[in-house]
Amino acid sequence: MTGTGSDSCTAVIGNVRMTLYTHHPAREAQGLMLMCHGNSGNAEALRDFALPLSERLGLIIVAPLFDRKRFPPVAYQRGHITDGHGRPRPPEQWATRLVPALIDWALDGGSLPYWLWGFSAGAQFLSRVAAFQPLRIAPERIVIVSPSVHVQPLLGRWPSGEAAPYGLGGVFHGDEEQEVQRRYLERPVTLCVGAEDHEATDPTLGRNRAARRQGPDRLARAARTFDLGAMTALRLGCDFGWQLKIVPGVGHSARDMLEPLRAMAIMDLLPETRPEAQRLREGLPFELVPGRRSGPKIRVGGRWFDLPRKS
């Protein structure tokens, strides 16, 4: 990528021709942010929401378009990991394989730190990337923002585990299966959700059996997945690289999550002394107050918190 400012182009990525919406900051580039859009398919808008962040931090933005015709939910949100009958596909057919190819295209032989950021449907896609896809170059963080469902860090099948694409079961075998499970838990994954994103009747919320097992809404599902990850890592004795960040005053909004100071706190790019960073540090929710006796609750890190009430 050359020049500065916003642009779009088409490129062949892993033998797939894709439209890419890009932005190069006016200052010298300090990093790369690959952004995966939501169910609306508006990659251009997602890039535009990130422009103030790009200029502030010196981040190159690349937002690929995953069009509905070639990337229906089984291919985009669920990564094409399995077919319509739940049978695993060979890795060369996974849509997640496009992510390392996109990073190689964007870096063009250079070397910059990079972040993966996905919102809603794009966060579901990045959940499959984090769980299944080998990455030659490790990202700074894989930021999974407000997905409908997550990949549970479980092997096997329900009720003792969870099969792909909602868990890790059934894709790998023997020692490789446990190696992939550990890799997933050790990766720098940030599960991020708005404190107001707890609408159980949202029509875009996944409602199949595997989705419902994760909880009634996005907020509960993020907390349950994080809790399950922490307990599984403890049981396996492996490192746990995940964070949970519950963002106050935000519902299901890509624009709000990408407000520069808020996004910097989510990405661990604010000094620890800043209030925004302190509130989101170490996955501890804030404006979720323990101790009241009534109202909807959520379990995070072994503690119960009340959900914020709507005014």
Would you say residue 297 has pLDDT above 80?
no
Would you say residue 163 has pLDDT above 80?
yes
Structure confidence at residue 85 (pLDDT):
86
Report residue 245's pLDDT band, with 50, 70 and 90 as the boundaries: very high
Structure confidence at residue 292 (pLDDT):
40
**Which string of b and e fits 152-164 if b means at least 16 CB within 10 Å?**
bbbbeeeeeebbb
Report residue 24's pLDDT band, with 50, 70 and 90 as the boundaries: very high
Longest dimension (CA), the chain: 57
Mean per-residue pLDDT, 303-310 = 46
d(CA 254, CA 207): 22
d(CA 146, CA 19): 24
User: Which pLDDT tens digit goes with each residue over 182-235?
Assistant: 999 999 999 999 999 999 999 999 999 999 999 999 999 999 999 999 999 999
User: Which pLDDT tens digit goes with each residue over 258-289?
Assistant: 999 999 999 989 876 666 555 554 444 333 33
**Which string of b and e fits 226-265 if b means at least 16 CB within 10 Å?**
bbbbbebbeeeebebbbbbbbbeebbbbbebbbbbbbbbb
Find out whether 136 and 100 touch, Cβ atoms under 8 Å.
Answer: yes
User: Which pLDDT tens digit goes with each residue over 123-159?
Assistant: 999 999 999 999 999 999 999 999 999 999 999 999 9
Mean of per-residue pLDDT scores for the chain: 89
Count the alpha carbons within 13 Å of 243 in the hemisphere toward its beta carbon: 24
